[in-house]
Chain A
């Protein structure tokens, strides 16, 4: 996507371990930071998002942390399970779009080995 970098591109972890995916963006005015999950053959679906007025948000085994100064936000998955295997996309609104446009990063393919 435009001015969005996602790392790593591929991540393989053992079941039960944690996984962290980082998304770097360029627009300091961005105020919405979502993560989408896409399982094989299925549509992308939002799993967690955060707005710029908070630094961290958690929902059971997943969390998102935001560092506005460094312009990156990260997805954290704890106690990974095989069903977490999927492609994960960050989608911060690109610069000069008023926040209306949804553009996806290149994605991180997560493999959770049982």
Chain B
């Protein structure tokens, strides 16, 4: 499969625990995005990377959230001290670099449930 892959697909965790999600983008894509989506809402932007550089982080994102893309390939999103309000689908997407405005290719998402 040469598309965007995310792991795990589902995660159930207790409130207060830390969780980490992984995203493997399409190999030649420079840009990588993280979104959060709750039922009935559109994907909410969290952060994005150009290669290994994190260019922007949503001001809506608390300090409990951190993302990395250490070698400009895969990325991880960590949520510390999870809260019930963190329950959502976390989507990763990637797109080619070098041109203004291109299609974003999405992974299947990681569904997080905080109990």
Contacts and interface: CB of A to CB of B under 8 A. Distances in A.
Q: Which range contains the number of B residues in contact with the other chain?
A: 20 to 34
Interface of A: 1, 30-32, 34, 43-46, 49, 51, 87, 89, 91, 93, 97-107
Interface stretch (B10-18, B41-49, B64-72): B41-49
A102 B93 contact: yes
A31 B100 CA distance: 8
A104 B102 contact: no
Contacts, number: 59
Contacts of A101: 45, 48, 56
Nearest to A102: B104
B25 interface: no
Contacts of B55: 100
Contacts of A106: 41-42
A43 B45 contact: no
